[in-house]
Amino acid sequence: MLKKNLLKHWNKLYPDHDLKSLDQFMEEIDNTKKQLSFKPHQAEWFKDAIVYSLYVDLFNQDFIGLKSKLDYLQDLGVNCLWLLPILDSPMKDAGFDIRHYDRIRADLMGLPDDASLEDQRKLFREFLKEAHDRGIKVIFDIAINHTSDEHPWFQESRKSEHNPYRDYYIWSKDTNLYKEARIIFEGLEESNWKKDGDSYYFHRFFEFQPDLNYRNPEVLLAMTRHFLFWLTQGVDGFRADAIPYLWKEDGTTCENHPMLHHVVKFMRSVVDYVRPHTLLLAEACQRPNEVVKYFGDGDECNAGYHFPLMPQIFKSLAASDKEPVQTILSTKVTPVIPEAAQWFTFLRCHDELSLELVYVSEADRKYIHDNYCKKPEWDFRLGQGVAARLSELLDRNPQKIGLAFSIMLSLPGTPIVYYGDEFGKLNDHDYYSKMIKLSGKDDTRFLVRGRINWHEVEEKLANTSSFQGRVYYNVKTLLNARKNYQCFGRGDITWIEVADANDQPATAIMAYVRSYQNEKVLVVQNLSEQEFWVKSPIFKNMSFNDLLGKAIVRGKEPGYLMLKPLEYLWIRLSN
């Protein structure tokens, strides 16, 4: 069955190539599967995951430091770690510029300088075992669209036109190809071509990240081998970075090309055969109707980010109106996805609050940017985004931060918590300045990264009335409540119409029921900074149990509920 699937995609991608290299690769796949000592994953395990995203070095120095914080993460309510780039890199783009795909950066290992490559791999396997023993899965980033310009393949490719690695990248004597491909880092790059000697090489991101050429079958095989290697080490899944740009064809935008889906299906077939139900997560900054294509018929990516939802959460908060979120999640905008697939959701991540016109309107971009870009240095890509931490965007208001988390954690999908947001980490200007010097790029996304000073944080968390303590308590309570209910990651959503005391639609109240099997949870959230008496038939004659431990204030008349400013309730309903 595997060979049949691979052959189908191979023939679509490379009809003029023989099958010798594919046959050899099939032998490698079978040998890897025989050697693998790990059992298959439980099907769809990622639907019940609460993901915590972190840079190992910025979180706590190295893997030894990260291992020491596994109890903290488990107590927080996390059961999956997303390790932002850990593979060997010059670190000009926070590790997304990969120099070697088969090794982790030495500075993340905490080992002596003379430690061998096997010593490093052993330490990583030991970390994975510690995480797995606590019920925590581990996934990491693998940039499959481009490499670092320091990658050995690229160093070879630039030597001559006749070098066998020349065709691993896209070289041209001029810049006439791919003119319809937009410049993704507008304001940071002026072209998708970089002159190198007598020729130019193509890049969609920074100039030091040359794009790979998937028209060369050796590139597909080589990149798939990297997945195989990390499966043997015990990794539970991969975030496939910049997936919409893999296939380039002149006369197109070089985004979402139909052929790239054969590339991804090929990779998924191999990964799923060797260790079934390993997560393949698509990073596709596109509209939902484009992202769903990366799920295929359940034979491509297991999951994908719902990028458009994130800015609409911020719009709803700014406008005190549920409509932006309700509309983006309607089937008119977000199509039904395969039963086994899943959306991944987030409030903030290692990148900016993205406002790309790919998935927001010009009017939404202006509205959200005007409301949240509160300082000039937060501007990213000339108005295309806002580079700021969650706590900064939400005015360092613990209740507002808690409300934002309540929305994200209770909507459909698998939620991601960005490291430090659970205690209100602020923008890091020192790190920003340092990284500008290192990368040579004024990339304001560096503001939202930066190191955690655990000694300082632990002092703040010990004081439950501090800003950090209040944020942490709110987020931890939400995470641990969600972890106990599968309805949030797997269930249906039914929107509830709520009226105010004057029988007018209370659009500032975002309310819905999440249902799965015998679980039913009513979520009621006040998006405004006003106190509200609201009513709905669902509030009548029910024994309410708030999962967050909050007191529920009900009216003298049946069907009334009082909500404080920015209040959120998760109420278990009796069946």
Instruction: Give the catalytic positions in this structure.
Output: 241, 283
Query: Rounded distance, CA 512 to CA 523, Å?
Result: 5
Task: Look up residue 221 and give its two tokens.
Answer: 């095989």
Among 208, 56, 234, residue whose Cα is nearest residue 143: 208
Give the CA-trace dihedral at 390, 392, 393, 396, to 10 degrees. Answer: 90
Q: 560-563 and 553-554: which strand pairing?
A: antiparallel
Among 507, 567, 487, 497, residue whose Cα is nearest residue 535: 497
Contact present, 560 and 537 (Cβ < 8 Å): no
For residue 413, give every residue at least 6 positions away whose Cβ sits within 8 Å of its Cβ, in sequence order, or none.
306, 309, 342, 343, 344, 345, 489
For residue 309, give every residue at least 6 positions away whose Cβ sits within 8 Å of its Cβ, in sequence order, or none.
325, 328, 329, 334, 343, 345, 411, 413
Provide φ and ψ at 142, rounded to 5°: -140, 110
Please give the DSSP secondary-structure letter assigned to residue 550: P
Please give the DSSP secondary-structure letter assigned to residue 427: P
Contact present, 101 and 85 (Cβ < 8 Å): no
Query: Rounded distance, CA 103 to CA 89, Å?
Result: 10
Question: Which of helix, strand or coil describes residue 129?
Answer: helix
Query: Rounded distance, CA 197 to CA 173, Å?
Result: 10
Is residue 507 within a helix (H) or strand (E), and if so which, with residue range? none
One-character DSSP codes across 273-339: HHSTT-EEEE---S-HHHHGGGGTTTTS-SEEE-TTHHHHHHHHHHHT-SHHHHHHHSTTTS----T
